[in-house]
Amino acid sequence: MSVSTVDRAISQKEKVRENYLNVAHTVESWLLTTDHKRIAMMYLISISFFFVLGGIFAGLVRLELTSPNGKLLSSETYNKVFSAHGIIMVFLFLVPVIPASIGNFMLPIMIGARDLAFPRLNLLSWYLYMIGGGMILASILFGGVDTGWTFYTPYSSIYANGNVALCLVGVFIAGFSSITTGLNFIVTVHKMRAPGMTWFRMPLFIWALYATSVIIMLGTPVVAITLLLVVIERTLGFGIFSPELGGDPVLFQHMFWFYSHPAVYIMMLPALGVINEIIAANCKKRIFGYEFVAFSSIAIAVFGFIVWGHHMFATSQSMYASMVFSVISFLVAVPSAIKVFNWITTMYKGSVELTSHMLFALGFIGLFTIGGLTGLYLSSIATDLHLTATYFVVAHFHYVMVGGALLGFMSGLHFWWPKMTGKMYNEFWGQLTAILMFVGFNMTFFPQFIAGWLGMPRRYHFYAQEYQVWHVASSLGASVLGIAFILPAIYLTHSLIAGKQASANPWNAVGLEWTIPSPPTTFNFPENDLPVVTWEAYEYYKEQHGHGHSDELEVGAFEWRESEEASV
């Protein structure tokens, strides 16, 4: 019965069938769509746009820093450039990238739903993102913001020039875009799972998205109101954080990091989820220790909320508070270690295929390991007193957030690209990109660990000459990394025009998304015909026994409830 399902999926592919992409072609059909897949694609395009912008700013920073007293930019411009890089990359790229694009596309399909619970809210979230992004962009282009992405008071609220208020309102609105997405995901996971899709049959990517959504719902409003208070203080002169008006500037840091530390996990958890899918599909094995991996996501989400004080070891925070924050920060290392070791063990007795998305995933594990382990230096208070706010921290969070979230995103994008667009990209270029990105990334950021250990402060336009060698090395690496980002733009675009048609299941993976045609139809599953799930996640056993041929692949005991029904 399951074989006939796949047959049907394949026979559907033969003729040019209607799918979510060709169902309508007008501009309104995109701008007013409520289809989660179309919204995901719009997110993908707009997020990529902001990524390119943020990347250009990063390039400027690296170029300027090749000289210890760079003359390309003035100090004021340099400060605006690094702030623009940080603000765009954090709020407009890293936070939404995986949930809003890949997550938005895959979540309903992977749990067997026709759409998210609130399709119109989903569209609203995209518009909020665009409005927020537009305001941030406007603030950067007209006047600029030179506060850094952390907006520390009283600098941001009183002293800084430029369009700080407009930028903060933009971040506030973009925050609501994540809140609406998170709310949609939570309700969808709670209420829209297909019959038989129990919590512990969900793919781990869904677990990760769920944990992410919970963090978004709890953390984002706090930072939203905090930034709003800075706006009020700046524009109306209300006293909240400014010592000149009787406020406490360090209070801002507490409230800011209460969100912004969990925000790191908003960026990381979806990537960690993606990696599970890719490891399982490329080893043709169930993820080792599924429950441990699932609960480690929840543990990271919970711990993430009680470690914010480790950003303030060098303030006048009390010694005992610092110690508590420090010990909890060490505890976060444990669930992270659980994940990494479970992935390695998953490969044991697997059938490891080094596809491009697997290479990205392996790169991810490497960078995440280094990023996580360098976190130990910073959660340990004594070493943090030396390293905090130096390039060591810069390198650390780039390893975790860029190396982690970005490679996770690239991995997921390459994995699901055939499903999302219906086209196959060139595998060779994909693999080359994965390798280049890993190498370029390490070349860029490893020297920064050394510069930080030698005491190079972050956010410095001018610096002492002894650090120059590390800055030049880093900038060299950045150019390799830059090439690695240009490549996918070319071959992925090329695949849209001239790529081979993708089959329903090009990677021989299991999971509901691979049982439907590529690209999917508007409501994912045939009318009145949601799948009934009777199997656990990642059931690859038949392939493992060695007689797997792609067409005979057992994708699990799959049932259509009324399989006679014609598809859309």
Partner 1 sequence: MSLHALETVGVGDDGHEEHAHQTVSIQYENIEQQNESYIVGMWSFLVTEVMFFGALFLLYSLYRVLYFNAYLEAHQFLDVKWGTLNTMVLLVSSWSMVMAVYSGQKGRRKAVLVFLGITQICAAAFMGVKSIEYSKKFGEGLFPDARFNYAKALTMHHEESKASGNVHEPPSPRHVMAFKALEEAEKAPEVTLAAPTAMATLAGAPDKNQIKEAVPSAAWGTFEHEQNKARIFFSIYFTMTGLHGVHVLIGMLLMGALMYFYGSKHHCVEDYIPLELIGLYWHFVDIVWIFLFPLMYLIS
Partner 2 sequence: MDNELRLTIPAASEFAEQHDKLFHTINLLAIFFTVIVFAGLAFMIIVYRKGSKVNRLRAPSHNSWLEAAWTIPPLVLGLAVFFWSANLFASAYNPPRNAKEIFVIGKQWMWHMQHSNGIRENNELHLPLGEPIKLTMISQDVIHAFYVPEFRMQRMVEPGNYSVMWVTPSKPGKYHLFCNMYCGTQHSEMGGWVYVLPKEEYNRWVASAARPVAAGGIGSKMGGLSLAQQGRALYEKRDCASCHEGSGPSQGRGPSLAKLYGQRRQLQSGQSVVADDAYLRNVLYYPNEYALAGWQQSMPSYKGTLSESDVLAINAYVKTIGVSPVGEVGAPSSDAPAADTTNQQWRYMYGGESYK
Tell me the HSE value of 36 on the side-chain side, using a 13 A CA sphere.
27
Chosen residue from 255, 299, 400, 410 binding partner 1 by CB under 8 A: 255
User: Per rule CB under 8 A, is residue 134 in the interface with partner 2?
Assistant: no
Asked if 482 interacts with partner 1 (CB under 8 A), we say no
By a kind-dependent CB cut-off of 5 to 8 A, residue 237 interacts, out of partner 2, partner 1, none, with partner 1
Sole binder of partner 1 in the list 24, 63, 131, 232 (CB under 8 A): 232
Rounded to a whole number of angstroms, the minimum distance from the CB of residue 207 to partner 1 is 17
- Closest to partner 1 by CB, 24 vs 476, is 24
Rounded to the nearest whole angstrom, what is the least distance from the CB of residue 102 to partner 2 in the complex?
24
Name which position in 131, 217, 347, 352 contacts partner 1 (CB under 8 A): 217
The answer to whether 430 and 491 have CB atoms below 8 angstroms apart is yes
Among 89, 160, 274, 405, binds partner 2 (CB under 8 A): 160
Q: How far is CA 114 from CA 34, 243, 259, 321, 516, in A?
A: 11, 53, 32, 48, 12
Instruction: Give the x-and-dash track for 408-447 against partner 2 (CB under 8 A).
Output: ----------------------------------------
Q: Does 66 bind partner 1 (CB under 8 A)?
A: no
Q: How far is the CB of 487 from partner 1 (least distance, A)?
A: 37
CA-derived radius of gyration, the chain: 24
**66: contact with partner 2 by CB under 8 A:** no
> Is residue 479 at the binding interface for partner 2, with CB under 8 A as the rule?
no
CA distance 400 to 392: 12
The full DSSP string for 362-411 is HHHHHHHHHHHHHHHHHHSHHHHHHHTTBHHHHHHHIIIIIIIIIHHHHH
**Residue selected from 101, 188, 388, 521 as contacting partner 2 according to rule CB under 8 A:** 388
Which residue among 142, 159, 348, 428 contacts partner 1 (CB under 8 A)? 159
Task: Kindly tell me which of 36 and 414 has the beta carbon lying closer to partner 2.
Answer: 414
For 316, other C-beta atoms within 10 Å of its C-beta total 6
374 binds partner 2 (CB under 8 A): yes
> 345: which 2 tokens?
């063990």
Q: What Å distances lie between residue 358 and 51, 71, 482, 520, CA to CA?
A: 23, 42, 21, 23
Tell me how far apart the alpha carbons of residues 446 and 376 are, in angstroms, rounded to a whole number. Answer: 16
Is omega for the bond preceding 519 within 30 degrees of 0, making it cis? yes
Give phi and psi for 237, each to the nearest 5.
85, 15
Q: Contact between 134 and partner 1 (CB under 8 A)? A: no
* Residue 304 in the binding site for partner 2 (CB under 8 A): no
Taking CB under 8 A as the rule, does residue 386 contact partner 2? yes
Name residue 500's beta-bridge partners.
Answer: 424
* Residue 418 beta carbon to partner 1: minimum distance, rounded to whole angstroms: 24
The piece of 183-191, 367-375, 429-437, 440-448 that touches partner 1 (CB under 8 A) is 183-191
Cα–Cα distances (Å) from 15 to 501, 502, 524, 529, in that order, read 11, 13, 18, 22
Q: How far apart are CA 22 and CA 331, in angstroms?
A: 49
Partner that binds at residue 113, options partner 1, partner 2, none, CB closer than 5 to 8 Å by kind: partner 1
Q: Which of 65, 179, 275, 287 binds partner 1 (CB under 8 A)?
A: 179
How would you class 78 by CB atoms within 10 Å of its CB: exposed for 0-12, middle for 13-18, buried for 19 or more? buried
Q: Which does 389 bind (CB under 5 to 8 A by kind): partner 1, partner 2, none?
A: partner 2
Q: Residue 23 or residue 373: which is nearer to partner 1 going by CB?
A: 23
The single residue listed with the structure tokens 């694609």 is: 41
Closer to partner 2 by Cβ: residue 22 or 161: 161
Considering only residues 507-566, where is the footprint of partner 2 by CB under 8 A?
544-546
The CA distance from 553 to 547, in Å, is 9
Burial class from Cβ neighbours inside 10 Å (0-12, 13-18, 19+) for residue 74 reads exposed
Q: Tell me which of 26, 198, 316, 528 binds partner 2, using CB under 8 A.
A: 316
Number of residues that bind partner 1 (CB under 8 A): 53
Work out how close the CB of 147 gets to partner 2 at its nearest, in angstroms, rounded to a whole number. Answer: 8
The DSSP call for residue 531 is E
* Alpha-carbon separation of residue 196 from 202, 264, 524, 562 (angstroms): 10, 33, 18, 16
The span of 29-37, 125-133, 153-161, 409-417 binding partner 2 (CB under 8 A) equals 153-161
Residue 386 binding target from partner 1, partner 2, none, CB below 5 to 8 Å by type? partner 2
Q: Does 337 bind partner 2 (CB under 8 A)?
A: yes
**What phi and psi values does residue 500 have, to the nearest 5 degrees?**
-65, 150
Judged by CB under 8 A, the residue of 30, 460, 523, 535 near partner 2 is 460
174 within 8 A of 129, measured Cβ to Cβ? yes
CB of 56 to partner 1, least distance (A): 31
Query: Does residue 357 bind partner 2 (CB under 8 A)?
Result: no
CB closer to partner 2, 238 vs 523: 238
Site string for partner 1, 496-535 (x = CB under 8 A): ---------------------------x---x--x-----
Contacting residue, 7, 76, 248, 552, with partner 1 by CB under 8 A: 248
Quick one: which of 331, 227, 219 has its CA closest to 265? 219
Binding of residue 146 to partner 1 (CB under 8 A): no
Phi, psi of 153 (to 5 degrees): -85, 160
Is residue 246 at the binding interface for partner 1, with CB under 8 A as the rule?
Answer: yes
The token duo for 445 is: 């950021």
Q: CB neighbours (10 Å) of residue 222?
A: 17
Nearer to partner 1, 38 or 471 (CB): 38
Tokens, residue 538: 């990642």
Binding site for partner 1 (CB under 8 A): 34, 108, 113-120, 154, 158-159, 179, 183-184, 186-188, 190-192, 217-222, 224-226, 229, 232-234, 236-240, 242, 244-248, 251, 255, 258, 523, 527, 530, 568
